[in-house]
A = this chain, B = another copy of it.
Amino acid sequence: MVLFNPDSTGPLRYVHNFSKSIAGAESNVAIALARLGHDVGWFSKLGNDEFGSYIKSIIRGEGVDVSRVVVDSENNTGLLFKERFAHVDPNVYYYRKNSAASNMTIEDLDLDYIRSAKILHVTGITLALSENTRQAVYKAVEFAKANNILVSFDPNIRLKLWSIDKARPTILDIIQMTDIVFPGKEEGKLLLGTDNPKQISEAFLNMGCKTVATKLGKEGCYITTKHQSEEVRGYTVEKPEDTVGAGDGFAAGFLSGILKGLSLRECGQLANAVGAMATLVRGDMEGFPTLDQVKKFMGIEEHIER
């Protein structure tokens, strides 16, 4: 989506000027992985309009392959307006009903492209957009599973897009097919009635998910497989600038660890670090680090003079 940021805080009716950037959970993960040095592709459906071209060139500019993005000549590219307040998280207004992305169908998938990947990462947002997109996610996940491609899933529950009653069965169904899931505590409560990391892990593992990486915010994360569980302390960020994008950074850090063949604990550390660094910079994806930067952040950072 194209994201319009208000130039001042307060109710949008009093805001005169907006600046344009991009937003999107999947594109965030893709960009974060590209910055960490991986080959990544992102696919979605964009309107045949200036906003679609903008999204495509920004994501491509970050080094992500966009060759499988489909252009929809009927529907326009989705939008998102932020409303910022000093004291609470930003409010959002979506214009994505009937957007190009919400009209993505199974036909828009390039299964050969998916087959060529090591990991397929999907989120609950695409499940929520429409019946079409739900079907497309199912198709992609099932295809990946059948072809021994790792399926990674971030529930990313957005109650503005669907009710929890509609979200729950679909998300739980998908989780059964996933290799890695990234729930938050709040999402544990919404889906399972518990925000206890151990209970969340157990429930998802019992459903068939192979790895559960529960995000604990500042506290770090709790990672479990059938055979192992790791509690990984988070990095301290004194004054986080913007927490949006932290979850996506976490997922990217974790998947990067998987791709590098790191241990579960190391994956969690890298995930924590990328997630923490995302909060240091305003903007969803502007703060994702390169491999050098995250190594420096995780080690001992020295700088006498800036």
CB-contacts of A18-33 with B (<8 A):
18-21
Give the chain B neighbours of A86 by CB distance below 8 A.
239, 241, 280, 282
CA of A53 to CA of B14, assembled, Å: 10
Determine if A260 is an interface residue (Cβ-Cβ < 8 Å): no
0/1 interface trace, chain A 147-184, chain B, CB 8 Å (1 if under): 00000000001111000000000000000000000000
Instruction: Output the least CB separation between A163 and chain B (Å).
Output: 11
Determine if A40 is an interface residue (Cβ-Cβ < 8 Å): no
Instruction: Output the least CB separation between A95 and chain B (Å).
Output: 5
Query: Does B98 contact A51, Cβ atoms closer than 8 Å?
Result: no
Q: A11-B281, A60-B61, A281-B11 are in contact. Are A19 and B20 (CB under 8 A)?
A: no
Query: Does A280 contact B13, Cβ atoms closer than 8 Å?
Result: no
Query: Does A50 contact B18, Cβ atoms closer than 8 Å?
Result: no
Chain A: interface size category? 35 or more
Instruction: Output the least CB separation between A295 and chain B (Å).
Output: 16
Which of A2-10, A129-137, A199-207, A218-226 sits within the interface?
Answer: A2-10
Query: Does B87 contact A14, Cβ atoms closer than 8 Å?
Result: no
Determine if A304 is an interface residue (Cβ-Cβ < 8 Å): yes
Query: Does A8 contact B282, Cβ atoms closer than 8 Å?
Result: yes
Give the chain B neighbours of A237 by CB distance below 8 A.
87
Determine if A138 is an interface residue (Cβ-Cβ < 8 Å): no
Determine if A217 is an interface residue (Cβ-Cβ < 8 Å): no
Instruction: Output the least CB separation between A178 and chain B (Å).
Output: 22
Query: Does A14 contact B283, Cβ atoms closer than 8 Å?
Result: yes
Known: A17-B20, A18-B20, A76-B94. 18 other contacts (CB 8 A): A9-B241, A10-B283, A10-B287, A11-B53, A11-B286, A13-B54, A17-B19, A49-B93, A57-B62, A85-B281, A86-B241, A87-B238, A87-B240, A92-B306, A98-B98, A159-B304, A186-B304, A190-B304
7 of the cross-chain contacts (CB-CB < 8 Å) are A10-B286, A14-B21, A16-B17, A17-B20, A50-B93, A87-B239, A87-B241
